[in-house]
Structure 1
Amino acid sequence: MTEPRPDPARRRMRRREEVFRWAFLAPAIAFLLLYFGYPIVKNLMMSVQDYTTRTFYTGESPFVGLANYAAVVKSSVFSTALINTVLFTVGSITGQFTIGLALAVFFKKHFPLNGVMRSLMLLPWLLPMIVSSAIWKWMLDKDSGVVNQLLGLAGVENIPWLTSTEVALIAVVMVNIWLGIPFNMTILYSGLQDIPDELYEAAALDGATGWRAFRNITWPLLRPVVSVVLILGVVYTLKVLDIILGLTEGGPSNATETLATQSYRLSFANFEFGQGAALGNILVLISLVFAMVYLRMTRSGTED
């Protein structure tokens, strides 16, 4: 028995639907290729070329292989920038996530002016980074900053927040924590809203309240949201540039120099665009490795 042939009108309708589907997708695909695909490919090409200001005049950028990568890794600043990047990222993510989660749990409770206070908490996130860094640079000034003035009321001597190699990185981490709290709080609060209240009510009947309810109900159900927050937070923090440049410019004595600021300096201060691109690619690789490892660990923990 032969199968009936598809109706020609139906075939034309399917082809038309397929054309319309691709027509709607085409602008998005073109946008991704133009603004994401091309820069990535261009950056990879620059990282294996001797790409300097001379290239803009001559159009020549000789192929040098992995020489740019070797140059940035062997640089005396690389190890310092790498350590600072790790400390800056770990400190920032720990502070942002811990405080953001605490605030999200706090705002889950219903009380007067809850919505108003949550809206005000978003202000640091809405301010342009360069504006925030300028405000904090004034606040952390050793002689006239409001932070030292308040500490002086408690008998604490003026602290050189931005000019001391011992505390400059701490100051930058502190500012970045302040900027990242609203993002963590908002995403985690949204995740908490999806947890049914009936689960807490049932657990309360068994005596599981407070910390026990958080450990047995809130945390397990919030883990997917936590994964997203941590991955996005780490990727964003690794590439933080404007805050550090606005506060310390990587100083004093490279105390706050990170891989991101070093890549910027190589490209736009030393005009070694090939080395700057190579260091940028190393930073991207670190981000990808972290994301893959964390997702694998999270997936293994969920399966167990």
Structure 2
Amino acid sequence: MTTTDFAVRRAPSAAPADQHRSRQTLAKWAFLVPAIVYIAAFFGYPLVNNVVMSFQHYTASTFWTGESPFIGWANWRAVFGDEVFRRALINTALFTAGSLLGQFTIGLALALFFRRRFPLGGPLRSLLLLPWLVPLVAAGTVWRQLLDQEGGAVNEFLHGVGVISQNVPWLSSPQIALLSIILVNIWIGIPFNMVILYGGLQEIPADLYEAASIDGAGRWRTFTAITWPMLRPVVAVVLLLGFIATVKVLDIILVLTGGGPANSTESLSTQVYVNSFLQLDFGRGAVIGNVLMGACLVFAVIYLRANRNADVR
């Protein structure tokens, strides 16, 4: 039998294989296209439009006239030259760092605590979820009453135990207001950190802890050699999601201080709100929104690179 005859005989079986691959390709695109269209319509278009808007003179009259002249970098120069924006940038960094540190530290401590089985452990975990379930506006309103300088429950309690001799202006002092908001946001974010980290702890095999106990490892050695390395992927996810959620916090700040006193609690989110919805200068609001998105993008890239390097090692 010649090579030509063999190729001819093999040809009929090649066609069904090609058809099968074609059907697989079509099936893949059938699933991908709706997702691509959805992302492009509801994420891609607003993102691109926001970037374009930052280079336009886009105001409330634009919705009626349709005119939004291109003004180049004028909006960017105006925003970055504004002292309030620079103050908001620093406040956002402090607010985000303080909130993440407090939420993660306390959340991890509680997750480690509840990892041990004890009576009423389940009900106690459920109670700790309440701050996460309460609407942020309602939580902010309650905390505004608790932190009120005159008659607030926090000052009354501190007076009663002898910690302070005069009322603390938690929300009306430029030196204390930002710290007060950070503490409230920590209270709100602790349940999220605890739940995710607790779930990660449950995935660590108990055999590793038994082996460490047999080898005579103490609690700190067990944590650094087993718990932390095994929990690191979950920690990365918690910090990434926590950063994205914290850097854009608006409602808590508006309810508690409204950005005051003396701009001491202004953040990038409040500046977007003020420029876009109070001053109706959508171009400047778009600039600050782009800065927020850029910060989230940079943090996400750092997270992905760190994860990739960890996987390589």
TM-score (normalised: structure 2): 0.91
Structure 1 residue 293 corresponds to structure 2 residue 285:
no
Deviation at 1:26, TM superposition (A): 4.0
Structure 1 residue 45 corresponds to structure 2 residue 52:
yes
Question: 1:1-304, aligned counterparts within 5 Å?
Answer: 1=3, 2=7, 3-6=10-13, 15-155=22-162, 156=164, 157-297=166-306, 299-300=308-309, 303=312
CA contact (8 A) 1:227 1:295 kept: no
Between 1:292-301 and 1:260-269, the stretch displaced more is 292-301
Q: Which amino acid aligns with 1:212?
A: R
The separation in 2 between residues aligned to 1:293 and 1:18, in whole angstroms, is 34
Between 1:267-276 and 1:290-299, the stretch displaced more is 290-299
Deviation at 1:295, TM superposition (A): 3.9
Q: 1:221 to 1:140 in 2, by over 3 A?
A: same
Q: Which amino acid aligns with 1:68?
A: N
Q: 1:295 to 1:23 in 2, by over 3 A?
A: closer
Where structure 1 has 5 or more consecutive residues not aligned to the other structure, the ranges are none
The separation in 1 between residues aligned to 2:265 and 2:216, in whole angstroms, is 49
Larger Rg: 2
Between 1:246-255 and 1:281-290, the stretch displaced more is 281-290
Q: Deviations over 1:148-178 (max 9, x none)?
A: 1111102322111111101100110001001
The separation in 2 between residues aligned to 1:37 and 1:123, in whole angstroms, is 35
CA contact (8 A) 1:93 1:230 kept: yes
CA contact (8 A) 1:108 1:189 kept: yes
SS at the partner of 2:175?
coil
- The number of aligned residues is 304
SS at the partner of 1:4?
helix
Deviation at 1:8, TM superposition (A): 5.4
Deviation at 1:24, TM superposition (A): 3.9
Where structure 2 has 5 or more consecutive residues not aligned to the other structure, the ranges are none
SS at the partner of 1:90?
helix
The separation in 1 between residues aligned to 2:201 and 2:133, in whole angstroms, is 23
Deviation at 1:209, TM superposition (A): 2.6
Deviation at 1:105, TM superposition (A): 0.6
Between 1:7-16 and 1:39-48, the stretch displaced more is 7-16
The separation in 2 between residues aligned to 1:248 and 1:100, in whole angstroms, is 26
- Computed over aligned residues only, the root mean square deviation of the Cα atoms, in angstroms, reads 1.9
Between 1:19-28 and 1:73-82, the stretch displaced more is 19-28
CA contact (8 A) 1:142 1:148 kept: yes
